[in-house]
Amino acid sequence: MELKNDTRISDFLLLDLSKEPELQPLIYVLFLSMYLITMFGNLLIILATTSDSHLHTPMYFFLSNLSFVDICFTSTTIPKMLWNIHTQSKDITYEGCIIQMYFFILFAGLDIFLLTVMAYDWFVAICHPLHYTVNMNPRLCGLLVLVSWMMSALNSLTQSLMVLQLSFCTDLEIPHFFCEINRVVQLACSDTFLNDVLMYFAAGMFGCVSFTGILYSYSKIVSSIREISSAQGKYRTFSTCASRLSVVSLFYCTSLGVYLSSAATRSPHSSTISLVMYTVVTPMLNPFIYSLRNKDIHKALKRIIATAAIRGPTILGLKKYL
């Protein structure tokens, strides 16, 4: 069948994770469970950090922003995939695909920037504790988050506009469960050289530079941990450092694997596992690694539950007299 250039396309086709129909219910339940865990865990963090004045510090400010971004990050892809499985449909409109691509790149970039900022924040807290309050002042924290949003939005808008300039063929099957930019560009009939250059330049600038900054921060943190006299304190800090670095490494290595596999081969399933890991698994793990193991978060949640338990009967009692 001859491929024809068609710039007035209406729909793309998103292929399922598995071609076997009997596995679709299992995939649906699995991804729905992971999505609900991600939503619940991150919403708990946002609730705790915003309602408890004890957690109005730079570290928890960045944590609440990361939780919000993770909720948005997973919500750009998983609900559409679950809906397609439920309706046994594979369609996504051209406009919907571009919008999904824009927000996916936006929140993926924000994840990268926030992980870098959080590594720097912890570096200052561990290596320069006496200057922490001065260095990590509210104005700087807000500026770091604002710059992260601006750079991510600029990158996302630029790449999405570049895709809008492409013309596409009649073969519009995207071999993923969402509109991943590499695979969408590969479907184009027009020249994609500038798109490829922009994608890999952005990946190098955002990914490699930020990952280098994270590794530098954690290397300095490890050096400072070695100087802690208390064995218990050294173990606790090192354990926290190792768990955080493992999640960061998982996010960066799997996202890098997507780009490398897309560049090396056009096999439809070569990067599926990497995509699932950094789009679904990592946002689900972040609440457990960064916060739900944290005693301050536990205390804040207990205070919220205790307050709700006290106010509940009081409100019900007042309603009887109204």
Q: Which residues contact 191 (CB under 8 A, 6 or more apart)?
A: none
Which residue type, as a one-letter code, is found at position 16?
D
CATH of the domain at 223: 1.20.1070.10
pTM: 0.87
Q: Nearest 5°: CA angle at 124, between 123 and 126?
A: 65
Establish if 45 belongs to a structural domain.
yes
Tell whether 320 is covered by a domain: no
Whether 228 is in a domain gets the answer yes
Per-residue pLDDT tens, the chain, 322 aa: give them.
344 444 456 678 887 666 677 788 898 999 999 999 999 999 989 998 888 888 888 988 998 999 999 999 999 999 999 998 888 888 888 899 999 999 999 999 999 999 999 999 989 988 888 888 888 999 999 999 999 999 999 999 999 999 998 888 776 888 888 888 888 888 888 888 898 888 888 887 887 888 888 889 888 888 888 777 777 767 777 777 777 777 787 777 777 666 655 555 555 555 677 778 778 888 888 888 876 567 778 788 788 777 777 765 555 554 555 5
Whether residue 297 lies inside any domain: the answer is no
Parent domain of 190: 11-291
Where are the strands (E) in the chain, listed by range? 11-14, 91-93, 173-174
Whether 308 maps to a domain, the answer reads: no
Q: Sheet harboring 91-93: ordered strands across?
A: 91-93, 11-14, 173-174
167 membership: H or E segment, kind and range = none
**Residue 307: inside a domain, yes or no?**
no
Q: Within 13 A of 170's CA, how many CA atoms are on the CB side?
A: 4
- The closest alpha carbon to 107, from 283, 276, 321, belongs to 283
Give the 3-state secondary structure of residue 271.
coil
Domain for residue 302, yes or no? no
- Whether the CB-CB separation of 48 and 89 falls below 8 Å is answered with no
Phi, psi of 135 (to 5 degrees): -70, -45
Strands 11-14 and 91-93: antiparallel
| Nearest to 105, CA basis, from 3, 10, 178, 23 | 178
Beta bridge partners of 188: 168
Report the number of distinct structural domains present in the chain: 1
Does 305 reside within a domain? no
